[in-house]
A and B are shown apart, each in its own frame.
Chain A
Amino acid sequence: MNELIIGRYLPGNSWVHRLDPRTKFVLSLIFIFAIFLATNVWGYLLATIFTLLAVALTGLGFRVFLRGLRPLLLLMLITTVLQLFFVQTGTVLWHWWIFTITTDGLLSTGIMFMRFVLIIMFSTILTLTTPPLAIADAMESLMAPLAKIGVPVGELALMVSIALRFVPTLMDEATTIMNAQRARGMNFNEGNLIQRAKSYIPLLIPLFINAIKRAIELGDAMEARGYRGGDNRTKYRQLQAGPRDYIAYLAFALFVLLLLGTHWLPGMVF
């Protein structure tokens, strides 16, 4: 579990930490699309430099980000290796039975791998430097226009924030139930697949029942405190974009323009 840094928040006070979560959210999304604008070596070079710069600005150290890639390495390898054998155009480098490796295949494999690495690194910047709650706030704020077409944004935001708030509580409870069942002679990691799946029933059912009880009590407490639906509520928590955010947007716009510019640079075009 400690290996997985996706979705983990590492507190800090760097330049990136202090950005408005909305800025980070929007820029991460745009980055995923922008990366596809890179069509040659120069484009990827630029994207790599930009990503490394952003990583440096988080002040968290490059190693943390590499650790984030590790759990996904297998997935990345499987996808890219498939790509290697499916692309059949270009000069044949190696051939055996139905497997052929070509120059084009190698190239597109490299590109795909690069894209994965860059996208994952860039999106971990968001989760590593932003508390989950701020991400939920950002999503609510960005979804606000959807309220006009009848999407219950306020309710959705409340649901997300309550869900996030209960994650550690339910995790604690799951551990407690698991230990209680172990104390009664339950073994969770033994037997074949079906036996193992069955052994989780004594954990899941109490967990569900308790979650429902919690929901009822929470509902009562919310009503007692005057909650009557998402409309006409004010908000305590407020996001504020500052000069820092405009600089980030500007830098990003410049990056996209430069990326488009690399199309006209000589070099391998893929």
Chain B
Amino acid sequence: MTPIIEINDLSYTYPEGQVAAIKNLSLTIEKGAWVALIGHNGSGKSTLARLLNYLLPAQAGTIKIAGLPVDEEHVWQIRDLIGMVFQNPDNQFVGATVADDIAFGLENRAVPRTEMIPRVQAAMEKVRMAPFAEREPAHLSGGQKQRVAIASVLAIQPQILILDEATAMLDPQGRQEMLDLVRELKAQAGEDLTVLSITHDIDEAALADQVLVLNDGQLVESGRPADIFADAAKLTQLGLAVPFAEQVKQSLAQAGITVPKGYMTTEGMVNWIWQSISKQ
């Protein structure tokens, strides 16, 4: 496995901040991995995302993306490698129409128009927004705008996709569609796409191969979603939501029913309940 993001002893304090947003953080993300970064508000998740593509310059420590150091000199190469989707669907829509917005990143890289047209078309088709090509953002739903944001990132063919709470402002349906789309894209791209999703959403984190828990700018946990989510007490202590299946398990345990140890998905929980009822 080759590492694609290497963070070494990284620290960052906002000019107006009293405490460091990121403190002596070191971590490595493998190429092709799907990593979820979770943590309560103000734990430094978004700061880390901004440090990764030099929207914020690191104050101490180093970051390497695909072997390139993240600094003033390499900033544009780094930004070619990283595609970022932000939280607010409205505030990241630059273009006047869907097609224009997707083309924005290509325009910035001076891609010739003849090459731009098929790439924009392909990106739109990937996120199933092609019928809306000439639509203006005011006439799109939040979920559709986020799909356009993903398409605009795909058009520049990045190696890393960072979702910075990209589903936070969507309705449950829009959120589910987004997650399905990201899963689909990841399946298509395989090892060529590394996904870093920063989220509060447990379902989104559960999709990942690896979950990192950030607390006050420091990495406190790292592991498979199953391991992280099994410890409900710890999650609550860190200010995080507990998955629904775990909540059910806790309530059952309180009612005096012996429940299996270890993390269970909602589906797994349903199966277990069926089995235990039919055994009786």
B-side contacts of A223, CB under 8 Å: 55, 79
Q: Is there a chain A Cβ closer than 8 Å to B84's Cβ? A: yes
Q: Is there a chain B Cβ closer than 8 Å to A30's Cβ? A: no
The reply to whether B82 and A218 form a contact with Cβ atoms under 8 Å apart is no
The reply to whether B96 and A165 form a contact with Cβ atoms under 8 Å apart is yes
The reply to whether B107 and A236 form a contact with Cβ atoms under 8 Å apart is yes
The one of B82, B90, B120 that contacts A169, using a Cβ cutoff of 8 Å? B90
The minimal Cβ–Cβ distance linking B166 to chain A, given in whole angstroms, is: 12
The reply to whether B108 and A165 form a contact with Cβ atoms under 8 Å apart is no
User: A236 CA to B119 CA in the complex, in Å?
Assistant: 11
The one of A218, A234, A238 that contacts B111, using a Cβ cutoff of 8 Å? A234
* Most chain B CB neighbours (cut-off 10 Å) among A133, A136, A168, A236: A236
B-side contacts of A226, CB under 8 Å: 76, 79-80, 105, 108-109, 156
The reply to whether B107 and A233 form a contact with Cβ atoms under 8 Å apart is yes
User: A218 CA to B53 CA in the complex, in Å?
Assistant: 15
The reply to whether A221 and B92 form a contact with Cβ atoms under 8 Å apart is yes
The reply to whether A236 and B120 form a contact with Cβ atoms under 8 Å apart is yes
The one of B104, B111, B112 that contacts A227, using a Cβ cutoff of 8 Å? B104
A-side contacts of B109, CB under 8 Å: 226
The one of A214, A234, A236 that contacts B100, using a Cβ cutoff of 8 Å? A236
The minimal Cβ–Cβ distance linking B176 to chain A, given in whole angstroms, is: 24
The reply to whether B55 and A236 form a contact with Cβ atoms under 8 Å apart is no
User: Using an 8 Å CB-CB cutoff, how does the interface string of B53-85 with A read, 1 for contact, 0 for none?
Assistant: 101000000000000000000001001101110
User: A169 CA to B6 CA in the complex, in Å?
Assistant: 39
Q: Is there a chain A Cβ closer than 8 Å to B212's Cβ? A: no
Main secondary structure of the interface of A (DSSP, over half): helix
Residue of B nearest to A158 (CB): B94
The minimal Cβ–Cβ distance linking B48 to chain A, given in whole angstroms, is: 14
The one of A136, A221, A233, A238 that contacts B94, using a Cβ cutoff of 8 Å? A221
The minimal Cβ–Cβ distance linking A131 to chain B, given in whole angstroms, is: 9
The reply to whether B110 and A232 form a contact with Cβ atoms under 8 Å apart is yes
Q: Is there a chain B Cβ closer than 8 Å to A148's Cβ? A: no
The minimal Cβ–Cβ distance linking A266 to chain B, given in whole angstroms, is: 53
* Most chain A CB neighbours (cut-off 10 Å) among B86, B96, B112, B153: B96
User: A217 CA to B120 CA in the complex, in Å?
Assistant: 23
The reply to whether B90 and A236 form a contact with Cβ atoms under 8 Å apart is no
The minimal Cβ–Cβ distance linking A225 to chain B, given in whole angstroms, is: 4
The reply to whether A234 and B107 form a contact with Cβ atoms under 8 Å apart is yes
The one of A161, A217, A221, A233 that contacts B110, using a Cβ cutoff of 8 Å? A233
The reply to whether A234 and B53 form a contact with Cβ atoms under 8 Å apart is no
Q: Is there a chain A Cβ closer than 8 Å to B97's Cβ? A: yes
User: A128 CA to B96 CA in the complex, in Å?
Assistant: 18
A-side contacts of B90, CB under 8 Å: 169, 214
The minimal Cβ–Cβ distance linking A133 to chain B, given in whole angstroms, is: 5
Q: Is there a chain B Cβ closer than 8 Å to A224's Cβ? A: yes
Q: Is there a chain B Cβ closer than 8 Å to A49's Cβ? A: no
The minimal Cβ–Cβ distance linking B4 to chain A, given in whole angstroms, is: 17
The reply to whether B110 and A222 form a contact with Cβ atoms under 8 Å apart is no
User: Using an 8 Å CB-CB cutoff, how does the interface string of B101-119 with A read, 1 for contact, 0 for none?
Assistant: 0011111111111001100
The reply to whether A236 and B106 form a contact with Cβ atoms under 8 Å apart is yes
The reply to whether B113 and A225 form a contact with Cβ atoms under 8 Å apart is no
The one of A169, A227, A236 that contacts B116, using a Cβ cutoff of 8 Å? A236
The reply to whether A225 and B105 form a contact with Cβ atoms under 8 Å apart is yes
Q: Is there a chain B Cβ closer than 8 Å to A220's Cβ? A: yes
The reply to whether B116 and A224 form a contact with Cβ atoms under 8 Å apart is no
Q: Is there a chain A Cβ closer than 8 Å to B138's Cβ? A: yes
Q: Is there a chain A Cβ closer than 8 Å to B11's Cβ? A: no
From known contacts A218-B92, A225-B152, infer whether A234 and B137 are also in contact, taking CB-CB under 8 Å.
no
* Most chain B CB neighbours (cut-off 10 Å) among A136, A225, A238: A225
The reply to whether A214 and B91 form a contact with Cβ atoms under 8 Å apart is yes
Q: Is there a chain A Cβ closer than 8 Å to B201's Cβ? A: no
Residue of A nearest to B56 (CB): A220
Q: Is there a chain A Cβ closer than 8 Å to B172's Cβ? A: no
User: A88 CA to B116 CA in the complex, in Å?
Assistant: 65
User: A223 CA to B96 CA in the complex, in Å?
Assistant: 17
The one of A169, A233, A235 that contacts B137, using a Cβ cutoff of 8 Å? A169
Q: Is there a chain B Cβ closer than 8 Å to A237's Cβ? A: yes
The reply to whether B107 and A218 form a contact with Cβ atoms under 8 Å apart is no
Residue of A nearest to B52 (CB): A224
**3 closest A-B pairs by CB:** A236-B103, A221-B92, A168-B138
Residues of B participating in the A interface, judged by any CB pair closer than 8 Å: 50, 53, 55, 76, 79-80, 82-84, 86, 88, 90-97, 99-100, 103-113, 116-117, 120, 136-138, 152-153, 156
Residues of A participating in the B interface, judged by any CB pair closer than 8 Å: 133, 136, 161-162, 164-165, 168-169, 172, 213-214, 217-218, 220-228, 232-238
